[in-house]
Amino acid sequence: MGVVPTTVQLIVVRHGQSTWNADGRWAGQADPPLSRLGRRQAAELAQRCRDAGIGAVSCSDLSPARETAAIVAKALGLAEPAESADLRERWSRTLAGLTGTEIETAFPGALTAWRDGTSTALPGDSEPLELFSSRVQRGLKSAAVLAPVVLVVAHAGVLRAVAELTATATAGRPLNADGRRIALAGDQLTDDGPAFGSV
């Protein structure tokens, strides 16, 4: 891993809608592709990125993030995205493939509490938050050596981990193809607000 410049701007976004997002299923580290809407969202994300000064793109190595990142990088004329397994979604063998309704039936309130920030726990056989947050931070630091401003395409859970790492209040589930602007200086992560100035 190279040396991180004094301060790097990371624009961390959730991938475009996947087919499992469309079905309301918990994906975790499953690998559903982008839906048709997800590909449109990726193209729209590329347009929002045009004036952001982005010099490189990094992403999770899972399909929806890789596809989104590739669409944006091509539209911006940048090198192929740098993939990182550290930027994968938080895994849960218990929840993967279940719909929100099925999760609520089996584990009342657990999914809502994770998404709205009132709990960091996931039920059953799930990745501990400490390990998840640690690898997300490692993935962000790896991305930060690529350019002064880097687009990082990841997952909703990664943005939730970023909120924990920056001590920023969560505001519901992140929208597809949207996210937060993060400053990284050494080991210090700071939330600088919405990725593209949206409310």
How far is the C-alpha of 131 from the C-alpha of 46, rounded, in Å?
Answer: 31
Residue 98 is which amino acid?
Answer: L
pLDDT at 8: 96
Q: Which of 15, 67, 83, 127 is catalytic?
A: 15
Let me know how long the chain is: 199
- Give the C-alpha distances (Å, rounded to integers) separating 175 from 21, 111, 147, 195: 11, 16, 25, 11
DSSP assignment string, the chain: --PPPS-EEEEEEEPPPBHHHHHTB--TT--PPB-HHHHHHHHHHHHHHTTTT--EEEEESSHHHHHHHHHHHHHHTPPPPEEEGGGSPPPBTTTTT-BHHHHHHHSTTHHHHHHHTS----SSSB--HHHHHHHHHHHHHHHHTS-SEEEEEE-HHHHHHHHHHTT----SSPPTT-EEEEEEETTEEEEEEETTS--
Q: Is-catalytic flag, 15?
A: yes
Please state the domain extents for the chain. Answer: 8-194
pLDDT at 199: 41
Q: Is-catalytic flag, 67?
A: no
Tell me whether strands 179-185 and 82-84 are parallel, antiparallel or unpaired: unpaired
pLDDT at 198: 52
Q: Which pTM does this prediction carry?
A: 0.93
pLDDT at 5: 54
119-144 in b/e burial notation, b at 16+ Cβ within 10 A? eeebeeebbebeebbebbbebbbbbb
Tell me whether strands 188-194 and 56-60 are parallel, antiparallel or unpaired: unpaired
Q: Write down the CATH number for the domain with range 8-194.
A: 3.40.50.1240
How far is the C-alpha of 5 from the C-alpha of 12, rounded, in Å?
Answer: 18
Per-10-residue mean pLDDT, the chain, length 199:
73 98 94 97 98 97 98 98 98 95 94 83 93 96 96 96 89 88 93 81
pLDDT at 6: 77
Q: Which of 83, 89, 127, 164 is catalytic?
A: 89
